[in-house]
Amino acid sequence: MSATPRTWPACCGWAGCRRRGLAPPEIRELRELTRYRHKLVGLRTSCRDQVHAVLDGLGIPVTCTDIFGTWGNTWLDGLDLPQPYAGKVASLRQLNAGLSAEIALLEQVIGDLLAGHEGYRAIRALPGIGPVPVAVIVAEIGDIRRFPGPGQLCSWAGLTPRHRESGTKVSRGHVTKQGSRMLRWAVTEAVQRQPAGTRPRQVKDGIIARRGTQAKNTAKVAAARELLTLVFYGMRDGHIRRASRPGQAA
């Protein structure tokens, strides 16, 4: 897998591909890589969970926070496990190491592909968002100009509530969850790590303060919409608008 950097054209060739119903090649390549990485992480998580399950089944308490880190691997090496559990754990640890190496390589390739992407650099300036969610956001959105505004982007991401009208009655339900599942994952993942003082965090905290902890999911979705709004303007303008409201509660 090559890590050759790509210089992104300003338009990403969207117009010609849109006429054919396709995203431009750069976006298709990036989506392939980010989605594949996501699957590998899921497989690695499964391997790690199985190791924990074996230890739990044998009644062995885990004495470190990460048994797959440097100290944790040394601790696992020192365990005298009976068969077939020792063989299973050894196999799972080998799979974990191989998957981690592939994930690291994918992250390097993705970073090189996005090195010249203005929208990626702009979104990286937002607090609390790591390079992986940002790469997924950029890959799933593609050319931001296909969305007239942030409302349409949030709707496409499935983060707007269902809207039903019957006569004079209007009701709103749960979010539609239509559109890109990967984009929803990346934005909601980023919302979990928003530091105090950022606009998404203020929106989330404000709703919980007004409506109580039972509104946590509603608050999280509202914060995700606020974050995606910042993402929209960042990708459109190449820079982030003010990401916090000093002294103002949501």
Closest Cα partner for 62 from 89, 37, 27, 83? 89
Q: Is 171 inside any structural domain?
A: no
User: 76 and 29 in one domain?
Assistant: yes
* Residue 146, SS3 per DSSP: helix
In a domain, 170, yes or no: no
**Domain identity same for 186 and 74:** no
Give percent of the chain with pLDDT exceeding 70.
Answer: 80
Residue 74 lies inside a defined structural domain of this protein: yes
Reduced DSSP (H G I as helix, E B as strand, rest coil) percent helix, strand, coil of the chain, to 5: 60, 5, 35
**Tens digit of each residue's pLDDT (9 = 90 or more) over 142-176:** 999 999 999 999 999 988 875 444 444 444 445 55
**Token digits of residue 44:** 């690695």
CA dist., res. 133 & res. 187, Å (int): 7
Asked if 146 and 218 sit in the same domain, the reply is yes
Sign of the CA dihedral with 47 first, then 50, 54, and 56 last: positive
Query: DSSP assignment of 151-208, as one string?
Result: HHHHHHTT-SEEEEEETTEEEEEEE---S-HHHHHHHHHHHTTPPTTBHHHHHHHHHH
Any bridge partners for residue 161, and if so which? Answer: 175
Q: Confirm whether 222 is domain-assigned.
A: yes
Quote the pLDDT of residue 128. Answer: 86
153/246 same-domain check:
yes
State the pLDDT at residue 227: 93
> In this structure, are 227 and 210 located in the same domain?
yes
* Rounded Cα gap, residues 48 and 76, in angstroms: 12
**Could you read off the pLDDT of 8-28 as tens digits, one per residue?**
444 444 444 554 456 788 889
Say yes or no: 127 and 185 in one domain.
Answer: yes
- Look at residues 116, 132, 148 and tell me which one is the last residue of a structural domain: 116
Question: Are 25 and 145 in the same domain?
Answer: no
Query: Is the domain of 14 the same as that of 109?
Result: yes
Is residue 97 located within the same domain as residue 212?
no
* The one-letter amino acid at 96: N
With respect to residue 92, please indicate whether it lies within any of the assigned structural domains. Answer: yes
Give me the pLDDT at residue 53, please: 97
Do 111 and 157 sit in the same domain of this protein? no
Tell whether the torsion through CA atoms of 19, 20, 25 and 31 is positive or negative.
Answer: positive
In this prediction, residue 4 carries a pLDDT of: 47
| 172 within domain boundaries | no
Q: For each of the chain's 250 residues, which pLDDT tens digit applies? A: 544 444 444 444 444 455 445 678 888 999 999 999 999 999 999 999 999 999 999 999 998 889 999 999 999 999 999 999 999 999 999 999 999 999 999 999 999 999 889 999 999 989 888 899 999 999 999 999 999 999 999 999 988 875 444 444 444 445 556 678 889 989 988 998 899 889 999 999 999 999 988 889 999 999 999 999 999 999 999 888 765 555 544 3
Residue that is last in its domain, among 116, 140, 156: 116
pLDDT of residue 66: 92
27 & 94 share domain: yes
Is residue 56 domain-resident? yes
Over the stretch 178-189, which tens digit does the pLDDT of each residue have?
Answer: 678 889 989 988
| Pair 96, 72 in one domain | yes
Tell me if 226 sits within 8 A of 203, measured CB to CB.
Answer: yes
- Cis peptide bond upstream of 195, omega within 30: no
Question: 129 and 193 in contact (C-beta within 8 Å)?
Answer: yes
The count of domains in the chain is 2
Average per-residue pLDDT in the chain? 84
For residue 212, what are the domain limits? 118-164+177-250
Q: Does residue 33 lie within any of the structural domains?
A: yes
